[in-house]
Every structure is written in structure tokens, then in C-alpha cells.
Amino acid sequence: MDSWWNFFYLCGSAAATLTGLMFIAVPLGSALIRKDNLAEVNVFLSPLCFHFLHVFFLCCMTAVPRANPWLTGVAAIVSASLRLTTMPKDYSVLRALARKEDSDIDRSDWVLLVVLPIAIYVSFIAAGIGFLMGKAWAVPVLATSCLVLLLVSARGAWDTLVAIAVMMPSGQNGRGHEEKAKKVERS
């Protein structure tokens, strides 16, 4: 595990940074978040934040000084199992959104939001079992799973933030700032 320390450090740092950026980006799109669409917003934003935090947590588990592989294995199994149990509610909301007539949810959304995360969380469980059994393949499986979840979530975050920018009323997505700047200069 020592030879993988830098990899997990970089992945964990990236996950923490992307989580922080989500906390900055969401308020920028807050004009689009209302009580009547909160469940729909949660389907797209909350899982992304949870994925970033999951990668961060597992990378932290690999950095615990003098920790044995048992700790990493149990952390991977328990955290992935808990995450898998919370996913069906989000995906039922996504399914209802996809059934709407004006829905723009397509196959790539299902792959990025449902299929890949489920496969990755199952691989976290497999890696955890590998750690408990002392298998050498557990570390690269955990590393690959962390990296893929990080990349899938970054792509999902990008798509979500682009959608927010497109849906923002004129003047709230950066286009109106030039006019405000000109008014300030004139006064």
C-alpha cells in the first residue's frame, strides 16, 4: 500500500477540491432551485457531492498511519453498501423525470448517473473483500474505482453546471456583468 500513497493522496486532494467547488457552484445557480424542484435538483447535485466525498473518505482511510488493510476493507465495504442503499430513491426521481414529455434525460445521463456509479460501488465492495482476504489485487481495484468515480463525477458535475448556466435568466449567468460594470464606470 505504501507504493500507492501518492496516488491516493492526489485522488483524495482532487476529490476534496471538487467537493469544495460544488459548494461554490451551487449558490451561483441558486436562482434555479425552488421548493417545487428540490427533489430534481438533489438527483443531479447530491450524488455528485456524495461521490466526491466517498473518494475523499476512502483515500483518507488509506492514509491512516499504521492502519492495517482490515480498516480500509471494512471502510470500503460499509461505505459503499450504505451508498448503494440510498441510491434507489434518487433513481426513482430520475426515472420519473425521464418519463416527462419535455424531458431531456438521455442514455448518457443513465450511464453517468446510474450504471457506472453502481458498478463502481460494487467494485468498492469487491476491493474491501480483497483487503479483508489479504489479496494483492485489492489496492489497484480500490485505486481504479476511486479514479473512475472521480472522473465520472467530474463529468457529471460539468454537465450539471453547464445546464445551470444555460438555464440561468439573462444577466445572472455572467452576461449582465458587463452592463453593470459600464454603469459603474459612467458614474
Residue 184 lies in a domain: no
**Digits of tens for pLDDT over the chain (187 positions)?**
778 889 999 999 999 999 888 888 777 666 666 676 666 777 777 888 899 999 999 999 998 887 789 999 999 999 999 999 988 877 887 777 777 767 677 777 778 888 899 999 999 999 999 999 999 999 999 999 999 999 999 988 888 777 777 776 655 544 444 444 444 444 4
Residue 181 lies in a domain: no
Residue 174 Rama label (left phi>0; alpha psi -120 to 50; beta): left
Domain count, the chain: 1
Residue 174 lies in a domain: no
pLDDT for residue 179: 47
Residue 82 lies in a domain: yes
Residue 131 lies in a domain: yes
User: How far is it, in rounded angstroms, from Cα 28 to Cα 173?
Assistant: 8
Please give the grid coordinates belonging to residue 173: 449567468
Domain membership of residue 96 as a residue range: 2-167
Residue 177 lies in a domain: no
pLDDT for residue 42: 72
pLDDT for residue 177: 44
User: How far is it, in rounded angstroms, from Cα 182 to Cα 178?
Assistant: 6
User: How far is it, in rounded angstroms, from Cα 106 to Cα 113?
Assistant: 11
Residue 143 lies in a domain: yes
Please give the grid coordinates belonging to residue 76: 470500503
